[in-house]
């Protein structure tokens, strides 16, 4: 914390963690719980500013974020965002892996929305290959179903952690309870709760296992019975509304100026959703609404996320009704990785039937499998940008190929990175206690920012 004023350091000399050091911007005080009265007294003595580092830590941001707040008492006069504490180098790593292996990396960016990361990247690869229209219908339906399940699980985390930061611990436990059931479905279908690398160029890694459809239908019944519990806790709760209404205000003009998308944008009344405005994966054939609000505040963003969970449940139900028998990977064997996978005691891998075929029946199949897995397929030269509507807004993949078996460059437009630009507009002029609520309404995931 920086302060232009100097205050007494009585009793500070005995504390090894509290001290004062001079910097070019003035003295810096390390504050502990015992000396806050001294700091407040020093600030009240004049008009000197106090600069507080909130973080780097985890204030409802699903990752490590640093906020630099200039305070005048409890009023935030300036708010700045510090990123980079979770940097992974995923985009650069993609240049050293073949096109299919890249899915394993991108799924780990926004780790609350792994299927959307996979989808944006895979759609880009398929567009470069010219096979977008060749994807089997069953694979597209499964992709839509998994993305909407993922939208539900992501929104539940946003609602649960936002409630926890405001002291509504029951909202947190209810939200995570429902999310656990969603992750159980991910594990049943893909073998993993997160980072599944399930959506692959040409289709999906494997077909739905036995019992998956029945489990998803049971999940839908459970969610319709329980989603109202969150609404009952929050919608008309005077304390919840008092903390969220008119908090983190950002109108349509501000969203347009800052490139803000997702629930923040739709809370201004604009029904901008790429599933409707620029449909992909057959979304134009599904019946669903785009929830909007006109409050431009944290409360409206919360209500939109709850409403979007309901719309996702409707889409998933339509997916189950559309599932017809068929392949889940393109027919071109020069592109399609084996989709004959099975979940065994050691996780997910090639089915025993497939292994028996390539190892004991066909030398050509063994050679092809070896070449496809170790070297990969070639993608024609070119570049594309493909966006999808993730739980946080427009997630886009800019994919560049030089004609080889590896990407030349992959860069993502992650909505969390863009949406965090709104921190200053939402928080400056408000109370420091409202910063956390505004941040929770943005719902940033730092794994997507620090790629």
Instruction: State whether 252 and 153 are in the same domain.
Output: yes
Q: What is the mean pLDDT of residues 175-180?
A: 90
Instruction: State whether 73 and 172 are in the same domain.
Output: no
Q: What is the mean pLDDT of residues 339-363?
A: 63
Q: What is the mean pLDDT of residues 9-21?
A: 55
Per the prediction, the chain carries an average pLDDT of 83
Look at residue 397 and tell me if it is in a domain: yes
Look at residue 231 and tell me if it is in a domain: yes
Q: Is the pLDDT of residue 446 over 90?
A: no
Look at residue 435 and tell me if it is in a domain: yes
- Each residue of 252-302: pLDDT tens digit? 999 999 999 999 999 999 999 999 999 999 999 999 999 999 998 889 999
Q: What is the mean pLDDT of residues 182-203?
A: 89
Number of domains, the chain: 2
**What is the predicted pLDDT for the residue at 85?**
82
Instruction: State whether 159 and 223 are in the same domain.
Output: yes
Contact (Cβ atoms closer than 8 angstroms) between residue 415 and residue 116: no
Higher pLDDT, 391 or 21: 391
Look at residue 200 and tell me if it is in a domain: yes
Tell which residue, 67, 120, 181, has the closest CA to residue 448. Answer: 120
| pTM beyond cutoff 0.75 | yes
151-165, 225-239, 386-400, range with the lowest pLDDT: 225-239
Q: What is the mean pLDDT of residues 299-323?
A: 92
Instruction: State whether 184 and 228 are in the same domain.
Output: yes
Instruction: State whether 19 and 102 are in the same domain.
Output: no
Look at residue 372 and tell me if it is in a domain: no
Domain boundary among 31, 66, 82: 82
Domain boundary among 50, 82, 114: 82
Q: What is the mean pLDDT of residues 391-417?
A: 92
Instruction: State whether 56 and 106 are in the same domain.
Output: no
Query: What range does the domain containing 56 cover?
Result: 2-82
**What is the predicted pLDDT for the residue at 10?**
44
Look at residue 366 and tell me if it is in a domain: no
Percent of the chain exceeding pLDDT 90 equals 38
Higher pLDDT, 2 or 22: 22
**What is the predicted pLDDT for the residue at 35?**
52
Look at residue 360 and tell me if it is in a domain: no
The DSSP result for 92-152, as a single string, is: HHGGGS-TTTHHHHHTTSSTTSHHHHHHHHHHHHHHHHT-GGGS-HHHHHHHHHHHHHHHH
The CATH number of residue 213's host domain is 1.10.645.10
Instruction: State whether 58 and 194 are in the same domain.
Output: no
**What is the predicted pLDDT for the residue at 391?**
93
Instruction: State whether 190 and 280 are in the same domain.
Output: yes
Look at residue 229 and tell me if it is in a domain: yes
108/448 Cα distance (integer angstroms):
8
- Each residue of 34-85: pLDDT tens digit? 555 655 565 555 556 788 888 766 655 566 888 888 888 888 888 888 888 8
Contact (Cβ atoms closer than 8 angstroms) between residue 117 and residue 107: yes
């Amino acid at each position: 914390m920086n302060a232009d004023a100097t205050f007494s350091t009585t009793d500070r000399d005995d504390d090894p963690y509290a001290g004062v050091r001079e910097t070019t911007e003035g003295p810096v005080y390390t504050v502990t719980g015992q000396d806050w009265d001294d700091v407040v007294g020093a600030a009240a003595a004049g008009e000197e500013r106090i600069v507080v580092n909130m973080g780097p830590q985890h204030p409802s941001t699903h990752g490590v974020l640093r906020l630099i707040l200039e305070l005048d008492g409890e009023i935030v006069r300036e708010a700045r965002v510090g990123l980079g504490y979770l940097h992974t180098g995923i985009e650069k790593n993609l240049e050293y892996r073949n096109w299919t292996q890249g899915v394993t990396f991108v799924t780990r960016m926004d780790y609350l929305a792994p299927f959307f990361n996979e989808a944006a990247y895979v759609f880009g690869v398929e567009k470069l290959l010219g096979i977008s229209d060749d994807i089997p219908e069953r694979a597209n339906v499964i992709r839509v179903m998994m993305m909407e399940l993922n939208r539900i699980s992501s929104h539940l985390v946003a609602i649960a952690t936002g409630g926890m930061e405001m002291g509504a611990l029951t909202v947190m436990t209810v939200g995570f309870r429902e999310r656990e059931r969603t992750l159980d479905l991910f594990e049943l279908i893909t073998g993993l709760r997160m980072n599944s690398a399930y959506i692959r160029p040409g289709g999906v890694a494997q077909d739905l296992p036995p019992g998956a459809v029945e489990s998803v239908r049971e999940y839908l019944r459970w969610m319709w019975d329980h989603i109202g519990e969150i609404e009952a806790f929050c919608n008309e709760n005077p304390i919840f509304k008092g903390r969220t209404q008119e908090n983190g205000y950002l109108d349509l003009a501000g969203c347009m100026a800052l490139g803000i998308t997702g629930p923040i944008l739709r809370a201004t009344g604009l029904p901008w959703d790429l599933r409707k405005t620029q449909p992909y994966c057959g979304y134009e054939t599904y019946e669903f609404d785009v929830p909007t609000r006109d409050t431009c505040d944290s409360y409206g963003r919360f209500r939109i996320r709850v409403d979007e969970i309901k719309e996702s449940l409707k889409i998933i139900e339509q997916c189950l009704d559309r599932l017809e028998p068929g392949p889940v990977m393109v027919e071109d064997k020069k592109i399609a990785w084996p989709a004959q996978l099975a979940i065994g005691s050691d996780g997910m891998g090639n089915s025993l039937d497939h292994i028996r075929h390539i190892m004991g029946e066909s030398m050509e199949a063994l050679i092809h499998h070896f070449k496809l897995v170790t070297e990969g397929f070639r993608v024609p030269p070119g570049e594309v940008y493909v966006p999808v509507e993730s739980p946080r807004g427009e997630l886009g993949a800019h994919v560049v190929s030089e004609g080889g078996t590896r990407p030349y460059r992959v860069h993502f437009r992650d909505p969390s990175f863009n949406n965090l630009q709104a921190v200053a507009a939402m928080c400056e002029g408000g109370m420091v206690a409202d910063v956390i609520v505004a941040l929770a309404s943005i719902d940033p995931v730092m794994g997507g920012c620090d790629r």
